[in-house]
A and B are shown apart, each in its own frame.
Chain A
């Protein structure tokens, strides 16, 4: 049984209450179509289960398969430096169908980032290190494709729909 390594910590992007009883970690890639399909379901999970859920996203860009996956992860992290990681995260998935190298600045403006700062941060080595640390965490946790989900620290064998179903059954 694969276990999340390291556990959820202060480096993570976290949505939801600290007191939530269910912590979900997704390892995802912004260009992966299956992650794109999972995105609205994750939103639905967060809405349906509200305070019971804490949601964490870690980057697992498949850079050979998806040329914009790594740059997209950089965009999300750079937005995070301006306190808007989740706004960029959502914008990337909502615009996945037209993902390309031009899109990031446009989204940065749409969500109201300081563009100059965003571009500067996007070029920083620190951000690359964060994404590589996330990828490393995925490898060590047994990620075997994207998206991969962990529920309370243990790998969940299934997709977002299975996750929704499981949560529904376990919270009934």
Chain B
């Protein structure tokens, strides 16, 4: 898993069938990457639904959040609609898990991303990373602590 200080590997992933997100386009902004195993986990404790409630707090720190899993864009779209998510979910779908692998957070055995968080600073360097047990939603305290630290610089 990539750690603090490493250059965040660039990527280009689909957020919708016809929209691609390039990490390098977000230079000058803080970026949160939340890798997670799969769409459609149970509702009230769902990690993406939780972050969805926190978007305005993230934007206070000039940060954009992306969810990343190996689900396809169509699966993401249905999930976003169902949970009324207001931030992009990226499909690490083809080649499967390539970006997760580049960040060192792909689980070969189950063929899914691990549950991992990265905060990337405005220069594209990893400022903080965290690997959570798959069954545990890590919440947002670590993300906010890292963003607060960056805002002091």
Show the binding face of A for B, using Cβ within 8 Å. Answer: 2, 29, 32-34, 62-65, 135-136, 139-146, 157
With A34-B44, A62-B44 given, is the CB distance from A142 to B57 under 8 Å? no
- Neighbour of A64 across the interface among B49, B137, B141, CB < 8 A: B49
Q: Please indicate the chain A residues that have their CB under 8 angstroms from the CB of B140 in the complex.
A: 139, 142
Known: A32-B44, A65-B44, A145-B44. A140 touches B49 (CB 8 A): no
B44 touches A141 (CB 8 A): no
Contact A139 B49 (CB under 8 A): no
The CB with the most chain B CB atoms within 10 A, among A2, A145, A157, is that of A145
Closest 4 CB pairs of A and B: A145-B45, A144-B139, A144-B137, A142-B141
- Indicate with 1 or 0, residue by residue over B69-82, a CB within 8 angstroms of chain A CB atoms: 00000000000000
B138 nearest CB neighbor, chain A only: A144
For the complex formed, measure the closest distance between the CB of B133 and the CB atoms of chain A, giving whole angstroms. Answer: 11
Measured CB to CB, the nearest residue on chain B to A155 is B139
Are A65's CB and B139's CB within 8 A? no
Asked if A65 contacts B43 (CB within 8 A), the reply is yes
**CB closest residue in chain B, given A159:** B45
Q: Which of B44, B45, B47, B136 has the most CB of A within 10 A?
A: B44
Q: How far is the CB of B47 from chain A (nearest CB, A)?
A: 7
| Shortest distance from the beta carbon of B32 to any chain A beta carbon, whole Å | 13
- Could you tell me which B residues sit within 8 Å of A by CB distance? 43-47, 49-50, 52-54, 57, 83-86, 136-142, 144-145
Residue picked from A136, A142, A157, most chain B C-beta under 10 Å: A142
Residues of A near B139 (CB, < 8 A) are 2, 139, 142-144
Residues on B with C-beta less than 8 A from A145 are 44-46, 50, 137
Q: Are B144 and A144 in contact (CB under 8 A)?
A: no
Please give, as numbers and ranges, the residues of chain B lying within 8 Å of A139 by CB-CB distance.
54, 57, 139-141, 144
Residue of A nearest to B143 (CB): A139
A64:B144 contact, CB within 8 angstroms: no
Alpha-carbon distance A130/B48, docked complex (angstroms): 25
- CB neighbours (8 Å) of B142 from chain A are 142
CA–CA, A136 and B141, complex, Å: 10
Complex CA–CA separation, A105 to B145 (angstroms):
40
Which residues does chain A contribute within 8 Å of B53, judged by CB atoms? 62-65, 135
A142 / chain B contacts, CB cutoff of 8 Å:
138-142
Contacts of B85 in A (CB 8 A): 64
Partner of A146, one of B44, B52, B84: B44
Q: Which residue of A lies closest to B43 (CB)?
A: A65
Q: Closest Cβ of chain B: how far from A129's Cβ, in Å?
A: 14
In the complex, the answer to whether B44 meets A64 with C-beta atoms within 8 Å is: no
Contact partner of B47 (CB less than 8 A), chosen from A32, A62, A140, A144, is: A144
State A29–B139 Cα separation when bound (angstroms).
Answer: 16
Q: How far is the CA of A2 from the CA of B141 in the complex (A)?
A: 8
